[in-house]
Amino acid sequence: MCPTIVPFMRETKKEQDIYFTSLIDTMKILVATEKPFAKKAVDGIREIVENAGYELALLEKYTDKSQLLEAVADVDALIIRSDKVTAEVIAAAKNLKIVVRAGAGYDNVDLAAASARGIVVMNTPGQNSNAVAELALAMMIYMSRNRFTPGTGSEIQGKTLGIHAYGNVGKLVGRKGKALGMNVVAYDPFITDEAVFEADGVKKVATVEELYKASDFLSLHIPATEQTKGSIGYDLLMSMPKGATLVNTARKEVIDEAGVVRALTEREDLKYITDIAAGNQAELDEKFGKRVFATAKKMGAETAEANINAGLAAASQIVDFLKNGNTKFQVNK
C-alpha cells in the first residue's frame, strides 16, 4: 500500500493520525493481568501482535499498583482482565491509545478518564460467556447437592431457574437450564422483542419482583452500574420460594450485602453462592456456614477456551483499531 494515497481513504483526521503513527513507530502492546491468561492464550496474543509488526510486553501476577503504573508508562495499547484501569493508571500511560478489557464487564475501567484523553475503551462481548454460563449451572448443582454433603442433596431438574438479564451469558444459562430439564423464566427490561425469549423456550416476566418470586435458582447477569449497584437485597431474596438459591456470577457490587445477611438470618432455607468473595464474606461464612459459598478468585472466565477466545479477540481488536481505525467494540463512544 502506498502511504501517500492511503490517508485519503481514511475519513477523519484521527484515522489518518493513527495510520501515520503506525507507520513511524513500533507500537507496544501490554498485557497486564493480575490473574494471568492461560499460556496458549498468551502465545496466540503474541502471534497476532507480532504478525502485525508490533511489540508485546507482559505484566502478569503483579501484586502492587506501582508495578502497573510503571509498566504502562510507554505503551500504546493495553489488554486487561478485571485489572483496575483508574485515572491514575491512565495518567501514567502517556502514549496510551486503546484499552481492551478481554471480557464482558468494563466496570474496572475509568471510562471518563479514558474519554477525556481520547483513549478508546473496548470489551470483547460474548467471548467468555460459555465459561461463565457453565460455572453458573455448576454452582446451582453444587448448592442443590448441599456442597456434596451425603444424604442432603436435591436435583435441579424440574426446578424454576430465573435469569436476571438476558444477554450473552443469560441466554446460554437459559438454554443449558432448559437442556437440564429446568423451567426457565427471565427478566430483561432492555429486550422488548418477545421472540428472543420464545426462541429459547424461555418465559419472559414483566417485573423483577415477578422473577424472584418464581425462582428456585436465581442467576444474576446484570452489569455493575450506578443503577444496579446494591440493587439485589432483602426484599427480593425474601420473596423467593422455599429453599431458593441466589447465584451470582455477575459482580459483588450489585449485591446489598447487609440485606443479604438480614434475609439469610430470617430465612434459614435460603442459600447464596457467589463467584468472588463478598465484601462481608467472613461474616457470611461465620453466620451461615454451608448455606453460603464464595470462590477465592473470580472463576467464571477461568477456562483455557475463554482465555483464548477473549485474549485473541482483544489482540485482534487492537490491531484492527491501530491499523484501520475500527472502533466496533468501543464502549466509551
Following DSSP, what letter does each residue of 108-137 receive, concatenated? TB-HHHHHHTT-EEEE-TTTTHHHHHHHHH
As measured in angstroms, the least distance from the Cβ of 273 to ligand 3PG is: 15
**CA gap 234, 257 in Å, rounded:** 9
The yes or no reply on residue 162 touching ligand 3PG (CB under 6 A) is no
Q: How many residues at the interface with ligand 3PG, by CB under 6 A?
A: 10
Residues 17-36 that bind ligand 3PG (CB under 6 A): 35
Helix (H) or strand (E) holding 292, with range, is strand 292-294
Nearer to ligand 3PG, 291 or 298 (CB): 298
Q: Which of 41, 49, 103, 216 binds ligand 3PG (CB under 6 A)?
A: 103
Cβ atoms within 10 Å of 293's Cβ, excluding its own = 21
The yes or no reply on residue 314 touching ligand 3PG (CB under 6 A) is no
The yes or no reply on residue 271 touching ligand 3PG (CB under 6 A) is no
As measured in angstroms, the least distance from the Cβ of 76 to ligand 3PG is: 22
As measured in angstroms, the least distance from the Cβ of 2 to ligand 3PG is: 41
Nearer to ligand 3PG, 160 or 309 (CB): 309
CA 48 to chain centre: 23
**CA gap 198, 233 in Å, rounded:** 29
As measured in angstroms, the least distance from the Cβ of 127 to ligand 3PG is: 8
Nearer to ligand 3PG, 171 or 298 (CB): 298
* CA-CA-CA-CA torsion sign (295, 253, 136, 315): negative
Q: Which residues contact 328 (CB under 8 A, 6 or more apart)?
A: 317
Where do contacts with ligand 3PG occur on this chain (CB under 6 A)?
35, 81-82, 103-105, 128, 298, 300-301
